[in-house]
């Protein structure tokens, strides 16, 4: 039976720990694994992408596989073919398939009918590949993750939700601060029963950031939010990650951002490019963490701590 990766909860806590360790090994020696030799991976992009596309396409290549990039106008999905039929066909040709789209129900439907692993490259509800890179970056900087605190400040969106799911599974305390209209709803976060970290929700960004080892943010206006852009910018203005907010964090705190960034909005230019950030390491680590994930999903590796 195919193993999927849709929300992050498909991993156990020991598997997550081992996956992050494997990602570090793959970063040290990017061409050491041929897990996808002779195999192809379908990468379906219904939403624009820079980091996700490049990191997956290059990662599949480094694992010895062929990335098959498919855009909306290149698929019969755009002409009414069902997700079920699309999944049944792709399963006959590729070793795994990823989807970057809006509806989370669509990736769930593909997985329900696939005989190969399906992985979520982004939906409106979850972005589980991003926290793999984030946790790897934190591990590089701090070592063991258990007991660290990450403060996410801004829109309580798919990135915040996925950070809560996988961060708490790794033993990280995740504090999310958002204005009430854009708050992350606790009931929308499927926390793992294996989670040892805590999730706390705040309205005051300074309260969330107090003592944090990581300050994290995302854009204020995501894809699909354009109609509410003015309202979002007004309500989220107090949630900027800047030097003043960094002062209440841990003295050794680092700054992360899933990108793309808008300097002067959700993050100050000084922090985006300054000495305290690990944002560009984080962007690179997407590739390494996702390669470790692909090794697991295609069944060539059994991860153990």
- Evaluate whether 197 touches 169 at the Cβ level (below 8 Å): yes
Cβ within 8 Å of residue 166, ≥6 positions away: 8, 11, 16, 128, 131, 132, 135
Burial degree of 4 (CB within 10 A; 0-12, 13-18, 19+) = buried
Extract the tokens encoding 202: 């705040």
Half-sphere exposure of 126 (CA within 13 A, CB side): 26
- Evaluate whether 290 touches 56 at the Cβ level (below 8 Å): yes
Cβ within 8 Å of residue 42, ≥6 positions away: 68, 70, 90, 93, 94, 96, 97, 98
Instruction: Tell me the catalytic residues.
Output: 100, 127, 130, 218, 258, 286
């Amino acid at each position: 039976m195919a193993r999927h990766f849709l929300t992050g909860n498909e991993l156990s806590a020991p598997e997550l720990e081992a996956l992050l360790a494997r990602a570090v090994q793959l970063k040290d020696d990017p061409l050491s694994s041929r897990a996808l030799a002779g195999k192809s991976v379908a990468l379906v992009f219904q939403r624009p992408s820079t980091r996700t596309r490049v990191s997956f396409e290059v990662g599949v290549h480094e694992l010895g596989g062929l990335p098959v990039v498919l855009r909306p106008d290149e698929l019969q999905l755009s002409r009414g073919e069902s997700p079920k039929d699309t999944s049944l066909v792709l399963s006959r040709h590729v070793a795994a398939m990823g989807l970057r789209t809006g509806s989370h129900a669509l990736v769930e439907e593909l997985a329900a009918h696939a005989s190969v692993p399906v992985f979520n490259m982004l939906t409106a509800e979850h972005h589980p590949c991003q926290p793999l890179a984030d946790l790897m970056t934190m591990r590089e900087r701090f070592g063991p993750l258990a007991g660290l605190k990450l403060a996410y400040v801004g829109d309580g969106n798919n990135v915040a939700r996925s950070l809560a799911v996988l961060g708490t599974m790794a033993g990280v305390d995740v504090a999310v601060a958002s204005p009430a209209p854009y708050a992350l709803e606790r009931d929308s976060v499927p926390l793992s029963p294996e989670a040892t970290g805590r999730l706390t929700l705040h309205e005051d960004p300074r309260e969330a950031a107090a003592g944090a080892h990581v300050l994290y943010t995302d854009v204020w206006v995501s894809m699909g939010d354009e109609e509410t852009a003015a309202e979002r910018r007004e309500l989220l203005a107090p949630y900027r990650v800047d030097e003043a907010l960094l002062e209440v964090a841990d003295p050794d705190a680092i700054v992360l951002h899933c990108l793309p960034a808008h300097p002067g909005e959700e993050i100050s230019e000084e922090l985006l490019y300054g000495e305290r950030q690990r944002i560009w390491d984080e962007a690179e680590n997407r590739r390494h963490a996702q390669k470790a994930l692909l090794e697991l999903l295609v069944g060539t590796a059994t991860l153990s701590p």
